[in-house]
């Protein structure tokens, strides 16, 4: 817990010798690997994914130089897409929310308790209602009205507020359309919670859709936002049983529990650099 650590995420074409190359490099420079997970996808001739955690207090060179050396010695020969993060550099989270407070509150509480893996930097809402709840946590709250008519202006303001202040944007039941431009601004850095078990019940009012279809299980899905609605890479899902006795309101109540649990897990995994996006899927090293 007390040792400074770093996390290395790698994605590259699969071929023999990758593990040996990475682990020998780190060993040579005094890094002690404490966690090592890997995965090989069979598609496209084989894609190799790995996540390593290592202690950095006995490195024989500063982290920046280690990065440079890694790029030259290992990453280039293996054509790696990679990212090195120091654990001292915690991710900062911006939450976008409308009126439903359950998902946002779960993130704030989880953060307060030290379980989020990152820090909540600010909350932005298109309604002023949640200001007191947010400020009670000592977190900055910004009211940015947003409707179809003033979308461009609202999103410009959102961009200004978030950039430089946050590394991750979380839509915690943000009930506004997000333009392709905004999506493109934070690729693989914007997480949404959808209140159904995707790909079932895409679009509006999924609990009503679920009730009408008479399903026996409902769910919630956290995913990265892409240009296509509710179709981005899925990070996490969870479900709960229902019966004919559940009204739409019952589904909503049950769903609130699923949504906040699923979203909190997804945000923690992102903050702890446990997720690699590959095509429209995620590799989650949990």
Catalog residues that contact its own copies under the rule CB under 8 A.
16-17, 19-20, 23-24, 26-28, 30-42, 102, 105, 109, 113, 115, 136, 197-201, 213-217, 219, 233-239, 243-245, 247, 253, 256-257, 261, 280-284
Active site (catalytic) residues: 230
CA angle, residues 119, 125, 131, in degrees to nearest 5: 75
Which residues neighbour 77 within 8 Å (Cβ) at sequence distance 6 or greater?
21
Which whole-number Å values give the CA distances from 60 to 5, 89, 125, 148, 211, in the listed order?
Answer: 14, 20, 47, 55, 60
> Hey, is 283 helix, strand or coil?
strand
CB 15 to its own copies: min, Å: 8
Q: 92 has which bridge partners?
A: 119
Strands 47-55 and 81-86 come out as unpaired
DSSP tag of 260: H
d(CA 279, CA 125): 31
Closer to its own copies at the Cβ: 125 or 146?
Answer: 125
Q: CA–CA separation, 137 vs 281, rounded Å?
A: 34
Question: Shortest approach of its own copies to residue 147 CB, angstroms?
Answer: 26
Nearer to its own copies, 92 or 102 (CB): 102
User: Which one, 111 or 158, has the nearer CB to its own copies?
Assistant: 111
**Cβ closer to its own copies: 42 or 149?**
42
Residue 258 CA: distances (Å) to CA of 11, 53, 136, 243, 252:
31, 30, 25, 16, 10
Shortest CB 139 distance to its own copies, Å: 14
Which H helix or E strand runs over 231?
none
Min dist CB 234 to its own copies, Å, is 5
Q: Give min distance, CB of 58 to its own copies, in A.
A: 8
Q: What is the strand order of the sheet 168-171 is part of? A: 140-143, 119-125, 92-97, 168-171, 190-194, 217-224, 234-241
- The smaller minimum CB distance to its own copies, of residues 163 and 249, is found at 249
């Amino acid at each position: 817990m007390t040792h400074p650590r770093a996390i290395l995420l790698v994605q590259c074409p699969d071929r023999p010798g990758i593990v040996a190359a990475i682990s020998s490099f780190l060993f040579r420079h005094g890094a002690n690997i404490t966690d090592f997970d890997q995965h090989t996808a069979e598609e496209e001739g084989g894609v190799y994914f790995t996540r390593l955690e290592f202690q950095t207090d006995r490195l024989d060179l500063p982290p920046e130089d280690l990065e440079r050396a890694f790029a030259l010695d290992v990453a280039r020969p293996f054509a790696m897409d990679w990212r090195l993060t120091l654990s001292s550099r915690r991710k900062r989270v911006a939450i976008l929310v409308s009126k439903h407070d359950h998902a946002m509150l779960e993130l704030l509480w989880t953060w307060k308790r030290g379980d989020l893996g990152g820090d909540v930097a600010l909350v932005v809402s298109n309604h002023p209602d949640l200001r007191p709840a947010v400020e009670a946590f000592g977190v900055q709250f910004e009211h940015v009205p947003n409707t179809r008519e003033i979308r461009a202006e609202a999103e410009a303001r959102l961009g200004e507020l978030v950039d430089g202040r946050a590394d991750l944007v979380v839509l915690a039941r943000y009930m506004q359309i997000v333009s392709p431009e905004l999506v493109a601004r934070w690729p693989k850095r914007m997480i949404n919670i959808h209140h159904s078990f995707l790909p079932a019940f895409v679009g509006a009012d999924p609990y009503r859709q679920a009730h009408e279809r008479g399903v026996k299980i409902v769910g919630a899905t956290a995913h990265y936002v892409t240009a296509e609605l509710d179709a981005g890479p899925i990070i996490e899902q969870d479900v709960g049983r229902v019966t004919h006795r559940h009204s739409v309101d019952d589904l909503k109540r049950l769903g609130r529990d699923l949504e906040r649990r699923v979203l909190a897990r997804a945000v923690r995994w992102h903050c702890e650099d446990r997720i690699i996006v590959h095509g429209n899927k995620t590799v989650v090293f949990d």
